[in-house]
A and B are shown apart, each in its own frame.
Chain A
Amino acid sequence: MPKPLRQLDISTPAKLRRLADEELMDLVCQNDASAFEIVLERHVDAAFSLAYRMVGRRSLAEDVVQEALLSLWRTAPRYDRSRGSVRTWILGITHHRAVDALRRDGVRTSRDVSDDALQEQVPAPERTDAEVIRRDQAEVMRAVLDQLPAEQLQVIELAYFGGFTHTEIAEMLKLPIGTVKGRMRLGLEKMRNRIEPEGAIA
Chain B
Amino acid sequence: MSRSERDYECPERMQAAAYVLSALEPEEADRYGTHLSECSQCRADLAKLQTVADSLPASVPKLRAPVQLRERVMVSVRREAELLQAAGPSADRPEPRRERRRLRVPQLLGVALAVGVGVAVGVVLFSSGTTHPVTHVTVAQLVAGSPGAGAALRQTDTHAELVVHGMNQPPRGKIYEVWLARERGAPIATNALFGVSRSGGASVNVPGDLAAVRRVMVTAEPRGGSTQPTSSPVVIVALGSS
Contacts and interface: CB of A to CB of B under 8 A. Distances in A.
B74 interface: yes
Contact of A53 (B23, B61, B68, B119): B61
Contacts of B147: 63, 66-67, 70
Interface stretch (A1-9, A16-24, A136-144): A136-144
B37 to A, nearest CB: 15
Interface in A99-147: 99-101, 104, 120-125, 134-135, 137-138, 140-142, 144-145
A74 B69 contact: no
Nearest to A135: B62
A49 B22 contact: no
Nearest to A145: B59
A66 B77 CA distance: 11
A45 B60 contact: no
A62 B63 CA distance: 12
Contacts of B81: 31-33, 36
B171 to A, nearest CB: 22
Contacts of A73: 73, 76-77, 80
Contacts of B223: none
Contacts of A201: 51-52, 54-55
A180 B14 CA distance: 10
B38 interface: no
Interface stretch (B92-100, B208-216, B229-237): B92-100
Given A44-B70, A83-B101, A70 B118 contact: yes
Given A50-B57, A123-B62, A71 B121 contact: yes
Given A181-B14, A184-B21, A200 B62 contact: no
A58 B96 CA distance: 33
Contacts of A55: none
Contact of B65 (A31, A47, A75, A164): A47
A50 B119 CA distance: 21
Contact of A160 (B14, B21, B72, B97): B21
Interface stretch (B106-114, B128-136, B178-186, B192-200): B106-114
Contact of B123 (A74, A95, A101, A182): A74
Interface residues of A, number: 87
Interface string B22-54: 111100000000000000000000001101111
A40 B61 contact: no
Given A53-B60, A165-B25, A37 B74 contact: yes
B65 A71 contact: no
A197 interface: no
Contacts of B24: 165-166
A166 B23 contact: yes
Nearest to B91: A31
Contacts of A125: 64
B53 A188 contact: yes
A10 to B, nearest CB: 15
5 contacts: A31-B81, A33-B78, A45-B64, A75-B121, A77-B95
Interface of A: 29-33, 36-37, 40-41, 44-50, 52-53, 58, 62-63, 65-67, 69-71, 73-80, 83-84, 88, 91-92, 95-97, 99-101, 104, 120-125, 134-135, 137-138, 140-142, 144-145, 156, 159-161, 163-167, 169, 178, 180-182, 184-185, 187-189, 191-192, 195, 200-202
Given A160-B23, A185-B17, 7 more contacts: A63-B147, A77-B95, A97-B105, A123-B63, A163-B22, A184-B21, A200-B58
